């Protein structure tokens, strides 16, 4: 039988989900519609036909097969998601057959049949999904600026009123349809039953056509087949918006009732269109005379018109009353159980289960989440929820401790007492819930790497039967295995896989010990050297042991001599190794041998050093061993060495940069060719006179004469000779030589030659009394005096066999000595 409806477009997706008798929710199935199997609207395979192949069962985690066979207790629901029609409007579900309420789970075997037919034990036939169409723009109304707001409220009894104000009015009631009382209603639209809440505060919008508009609409739209009229109406009205005579809107009262009053002459009772908006201005899907965007009389779509059917008051006419709207808010909320399911993710007692709610806004109908066991008993439910987040939080479920293997728990989204979404999970007592792996961890010495076997071998599963297949224990990431070089504890992730496929995870702590001190450090020693005759003490030996890089702020090791009888008494030359033990704070030990060397017997005498004064340039001594070495150490720490001669004597030049002063100490030792050293001799430097100047006399100046002036002689004149005149020669005359004659040469005669005879030649003969052939005074040069400035043998030189001494010679001798002392004085000052 044809119902005059229009099939959805070819290929529209249809969805199915069913729930088995134990509450197990199936996967979601999808099919697509076809318009090609038959063109007859009344055919089971007519336009919009669909079919689901459910012949294959699905298997849960316990191995139970679930197969739909249209048996009592098996629930199913069908749905089509909202879609846009070819003319730009929105199609949305109004009714499902069976079940009535769109998207509702309904029993396969029911006494509320509205067209479906269960072939019990086989399949379900003749189900149906019915869509309403909402216009997506305002072509069905006048421009919003021209809308007329009716603020008078509803007429109390439009059926019997004779009030002229009822003319040109449209009245009715708006409620939320729950399906209650209409689950078996397939002939008309729904009734307003006791569980259907009234829609207070909603807005009803109604339009009508002008006389010309009605004429053209009849000609261009109503003349077409039903499935073409909505598109034709849109085309006509978009091209001729002035065909709409008026649009009137008004709000419902607390009982959902309304009245809209049209201006005189604007209400055409045969060409009307209306819809309802929620308080936010959204058009709400509804059972009404206007499930398709077409202008028509309110009583022309009675299969979908909410009851009681629209009617007119013949007294106050034109008007309509009972133009009702049964709202069916869009219900596209999906519910999914997180973490667990019916197949590969079963739960165990004590698990916390969460749900996920997705979709658009919550329905204005009372909405809650219920958890039911395998027998359909409600084990937990929420309060009415207002948001998806609220439902998710309240919907958390703890698997009861009483749950047994194979139990199924199902979460339902309940809207107006209709189950519109569901998901479930199964309880399976897997081996991973029966057993708990344990470990005592692994301990490794420093430097020893950890192997996979070390880790897996530390894991045990208490009470696991030995006669069953054993679990497999594996290291998840072998890079976590410590190499032994870093002290501390590392957790290694391990997986235990049981024969039933379930798994446990455990972290195995691997502890690598601290590096032993005797492994981290190495004691060293440079040994001990002792003079012959000096015994070695334990402190000598332990003090010779060092431990490089050992932290100063750490507790220090203890160093002990193992056997004190090994300590040399100093009487036996040579090297002895003394065993030493180093004990670290961690209790570990190191052992080292400390070589102790005792020197040979020292029979070398200390060197004899001659007295030293601060003017000396040479240090000398005697009584040494020929061939040995004398080492002199000066006050500034510098040293000089010399070899002892065959007579046992030696001398060392004082370096020019060494300045000796009174009370300085000079140290000397003697060394043989074997490196043996004598005891040291120490000599204290003295000043040659008792005053503080640099000469050896007792006057107040620094020269060597006996007076206190600054020249080199002992007289009181200003020159350096000993005569009474002020010239520089040694006589008292005024010539330039030192003799007493009148010439300026150096001989004793008055001629001008260089000899002392009376002739005029300068030859040297045995008669020359002033020649240098003997030991005369002229042989004492200033240079010689400078080289021997420090000599204590400050005697006049022997004059030899010359017996002739005259006044001139004596004067020359005195002058020569004066020159000698003068040079000595100047040398000291230079020093």
Handedness of CA 733, 738, 744, 750 (dihedral sign): positive
Beta bridge partners of 166: none
- 607 and 624 in contact (C-beta within 8 Å)? yes
Contacts (Cβ under 8 Å, ≥6 apart) of 743: 735, 737, 749, 750, 751, 752
**Stretch (H or E) spanning 546:** strand 545-546
Beta bridge partners of 13: 32
- pLDDT-flagged residues of the chain (< 50): 1-2, 692-698, 700, 702-704, 706, 708, 710, 712, 714, 716, 718-720, 722, 724, 726, 728, 730, 732, 734, 736-738, 740, 742, 744-831
CATH code of the region 608-684: 2.60.40.10
The span from the CA of 595 to the CA of 525, in Å, is 8
Q: What is the pLDDT of residue 4?
A: 59
- Could you tell me the maximum CA-CA distance found in the chain, to the nearest angstrom? 198
Q: Which among 751, 757, 738, 741 is positioned nearest to 811, based on CA atoms? A: 738
The span from the CA of 291 to the CA of 609, in Å, is 139
> Where does 180-262 have alpha helices with state H?
211-220, 226-239
Q: What is the pLDDT of residue 828?
A: 38
Q: What is the pLDDT of residues 285-326, one digit of tens each?
A: 999 999 999 999 999 989 899 999 999 998 888 999 999 999
Could you please state the CATH topology (level 3) that the domain comprising 334-426 is classified under.
Immunoglobulin-like (2.60.40)
Residue with tokens 């336009």: 47
Following DSSP, what letter does each residue of 478-542 receive, concatenated?
Answer: GGGS--SSS-EEEEEEEEEE-TTS-EEEEEEEEEEPPPPHHHH---EE--EEE-TTPPPPHHHHH
The span from the CA of 566 to the CA of 585, in Å, is 26
Spell out the domain ranges in the chain. 13-133, 135-327, 334-426, 431-512, 517-598, 608-684, 698-762+770-831
- Radius of gyration of the chain from Cα atoms? 67
Could you please state the CATH topology (level 3) that the domain comprising 431-512 is classified under.
Immunoglobulin-like (2.60.40)
Q: What is the pLDDT of residue 148?
A: 98
Q: Which among 258, 261, 244, 251 is positioned nearest to 208, based on CA atoms? A: 244
Residue with tokens 């060719």: 673
455 alpha-carbon distance from chain centroid: 28
Residue with tokens 């004085």: 825
Q: Is 613 exposed, middle or buried (0-12, 13-18, 19+ CB in 10 A)?
A: middle
Could you please state the CATH topology (level 3) that the domain comprising 517-598 is classified under.
Immunoglobulin-like (2.60.40)
Q: What is the pLDDT of residues 143-191, one digit of tens each?
A: 999 999 999 999 988 887 777 788 999 999 999 999 998 888 888 889 9
Contacts (Cβ under 8 Å, ≥6 apart) of 809: none
The span from the CA of 628 to the CA of 522, in Å, is 42
Q: What is the pLDDT of residue 116?
A: 87
- 344 and 397 in contact (C-beta within 8 Å)? no
Handedness of CA 175, 179, 183, 187 (dihedral sign): positive
- 582 and 590 in contact (C-beta within 8 Å)? yes
One fold for both 334-426 and 608-684? yes
CA distances from 259 to 144, 255, 284, 309, 323 (A): 19, 12, 19, 16, 10
- 174 and 276 in contact (C-beta within 8 Å)? yes
DSSP-derived letter for residue 654 is P
Output b/e per residue, 743-775; b: 16+ Cβ within 10 A: eebbbbbebebebbbeeeeeeeeeebbbeeeee
Q: What is the pLDDT of residue 831?
A: 39
The span from the CA of 286 to the CA of 304, in Å, is 9
């Amino acid at each position: 039988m044809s119902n005059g409806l229009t099939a959805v477009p070819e290929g529209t997706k249809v969805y199915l989900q069913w729930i088995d008798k134990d509450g197990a929710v199936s996967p979601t199935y999808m099919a697509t519609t076809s318009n090609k199997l038959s063109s007859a609207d009344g055919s089971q395979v007519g336009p919009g036909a669909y079919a689901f192949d459910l012949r294959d069962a699905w298997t849960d985690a316990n191995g139970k097969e679930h197969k739909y066979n249209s048996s009592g207790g098996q629930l199913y629901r069908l749905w089509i998601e909202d879609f846009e029609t070819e003319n730009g409007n929105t199609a949305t579900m109004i009714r499902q057959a069976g079940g009535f309420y769109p998207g509702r789970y309904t029993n396969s075997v029911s006494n509320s049949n509205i067209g479906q037919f269960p072939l019990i034990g086989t399949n379900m036939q003749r189900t149906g999904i019915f869509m309403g169409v909402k216009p997506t723009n305002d072509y069905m109304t006048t421009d919003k600026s021209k809308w007329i707001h009716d603020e008078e409220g509803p007429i109390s009894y439009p059926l019997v009123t004779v009030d002229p104000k009822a003319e040109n009015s449209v009245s009715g009631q708006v409620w939320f349809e729950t399906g209650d009382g209409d689950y078996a209603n397939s002939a008309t639209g729904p009734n307003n039953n006791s569980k259907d809440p009234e829609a207070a505060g909603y807005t009803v919008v109604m339009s009508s056509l002008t006389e010309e508009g009605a004429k053209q609409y009849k000609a261009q739209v109503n003349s077409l087949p039903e499935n073409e009229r909505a598109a034709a109406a849109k085309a006509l009205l978009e091209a001729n918006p002035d065909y709409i005579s008026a649009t009137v809107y008004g709000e419902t009262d607390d009982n959902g009732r309304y009245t809209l009053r049209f201006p005189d002459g604007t209400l055409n009772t045969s060409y009307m269109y209306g819809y309802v908006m929620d308080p936010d201005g959204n058009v709400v899907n509804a059972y009404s005379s206007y499930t398709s965007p077409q202008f028509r009389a309110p009583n022309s779509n009675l299969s979908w018109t909410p009851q009681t059917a629209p009617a007119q008051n013949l007294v106050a006419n034109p008007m309509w009353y009972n133009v009702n709207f049964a709202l069916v808010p869009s219900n596209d909320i999906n519910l999914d159980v997180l973490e667990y399911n019916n197949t590969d993710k079963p739960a165990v007692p004590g698990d916390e289960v969460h749900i996920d709610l997705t979709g658009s806004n919550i329905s204005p109908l009372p909405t809650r989440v219920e958890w039911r066991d395998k027998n359909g008993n409600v084990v937990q439910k929420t309060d009415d929820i207002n948001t998806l987040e609220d439902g998710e939080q309240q919907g958390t479920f703890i698997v009861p401790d009483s749950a047994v293997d194979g139990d199924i728990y199902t979460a339902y989204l309940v809207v107006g007492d209709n189950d519109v979404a569901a998901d479930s999970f199964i309880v399976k007592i897997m081996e991973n819930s029966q057993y708990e792996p344990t470990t005592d961890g692994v301990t490794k010495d420093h430097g020893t790497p950890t192997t996979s076997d070390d880790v897996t071998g530390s894991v045990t599963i208490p009470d696991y039967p030995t006669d069953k297949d054993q679990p497999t224990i594996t290291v998840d990431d072998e890079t976590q295995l410590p190499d032994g070089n870093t002290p501390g504890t590392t957790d290694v992730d391990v997986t235990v896989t049981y024969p039933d496929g379930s798994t446990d995870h455990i972290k195995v702590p691997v502890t690598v010990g601290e590096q032993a001190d005797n492994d981290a450090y190495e004691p060293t020693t440079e040994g001990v050297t002792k003079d012959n005759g000096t015994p070695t003490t334990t402190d000598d030996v332990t003090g010779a042991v060092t431990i490089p890089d050992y932290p100063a702020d750490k507790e220090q090791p203890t160093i002990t001599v193992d056997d004190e009888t090994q300590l040399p008494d100093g009487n036996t030359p040579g090297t002895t190794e003394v065993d030493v033990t180093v004990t670290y704070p961690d209790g570990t030990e190191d052992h080292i041998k400390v070589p102790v060397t005792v020197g040979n017997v020292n029979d070398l005498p200390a060197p004899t050093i001659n007295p030293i004064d601060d003017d000396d340039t040479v240090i000398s001594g005697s009584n040494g061993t020929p061939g040995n070495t004398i080492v002199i150490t000066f006050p500034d720490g510098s040293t000089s060495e010399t070899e002892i001669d065959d007579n046992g004597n030696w001398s060392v030049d004082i370096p020019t940069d060494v300045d000796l002063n009174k009370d300085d100490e000079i140290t000397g030792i003697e060394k043989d060719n074997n490196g043996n050293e004598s005891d040291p001799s120490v000599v204290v430097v003295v000043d040659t006179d008792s005053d503080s100047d640099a000469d050896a006399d007792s006057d107040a100046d620094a020269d060597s004469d006996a007076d206190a002036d600054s020249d080199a002689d002992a007289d009181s004149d200003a020159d350096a000779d000993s005569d009474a005149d002020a010239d520089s020669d040694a006589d008292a005359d005024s010539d330039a030589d030192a003799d007493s004659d009148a010439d300026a040469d150096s001989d004793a005669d008055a001629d001008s030659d260089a000899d002392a005879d009376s002739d005029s030649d300068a030859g040297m003969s045995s008669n020359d009394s002033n020649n240098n052939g003997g030991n005369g005074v002229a042989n004492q040069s200033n240079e010689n005096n400078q080289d021997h400035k420090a000599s204590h043998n400050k005697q006049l030189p022997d004059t030899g066999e010359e017996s002739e001494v005259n006044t001139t010679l004596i004067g020359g001798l005195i002058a020569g000595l004066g020159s000698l002392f003068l040079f000595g004085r100047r040398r000291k000052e230079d020093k």
